Amino acid sequence: SYDLTQPPSVSVSPGQTASITCSGDNLGHKYVCWYQQRPGQSPLLVIYQDNKRPSGIPERFSGSNSGNTASLTISGTQALDEADYYCQAWDSDTVVFGPGTKVTVL
C-alpha cells in the first residue's frame, strides 16, 4: 500500500510562515491536495492539484509538489489557521491520506 508521511506538529508565530510537508514515493508524479480541519469541524479543501486554491481560500495558502515531497505553505499565518492539516493523494484505486499535522499558532 502507498503511504504518506507528515510531521505530527508545526508551530508558528502569528504573521510568520508555516510550512507542512507530505512525503511519499514519487509523490511528485501524483496530484496532491490538502485539507484543513479545525476542532469539531468538517474538513475543508484548501489546495487541490498540487497548487490550486478553491474559491474562497485566502491567497496566503499555497502548495507545491516535486520529487518525493509536497508542501503546504501558509504565509502570514493567522490565529484562525490553527488546525489539523491533511495531505491526500490517489494511488492504485485508493485514496490515501497523510496522518495529519497539527499547526499551532503561538
Applying CB under 8 A, which residues contact other proteins? 1, 31, 33, 35, 37, 42-45, 48-49, 54, 84, 86, 88-90, 93-100
Three-state SS string over 54-86 comes to CCCCCCCEEEEEECCEEEEEECCCCHHHCEEEE
Separation CA 17–CA 29 (nearest Å): 26
C-beta of 7 vs 43, nearer to other proteins: 43
* Matching residue, cell 514515493: 25
C-beta of 17 vs 66, nearer to other proteins: 66
* Matching residue, cell 502569528: 14
C-beta of 59 vs 94, nearer to other proteins: 94
Cβ at position 11, least distance to other proteins in Å: 19
C-beta of 2 vs 68, nearer to other proteins: 2
Cβ at position 42, least distance to other proteins in Å: 4
Separation CA 17–CA 73 (nearest Å): 7
Separation CA 45–CA 32 (nearest Å): 11
Cβ at position 98, least distance to other proteins in Å: 8
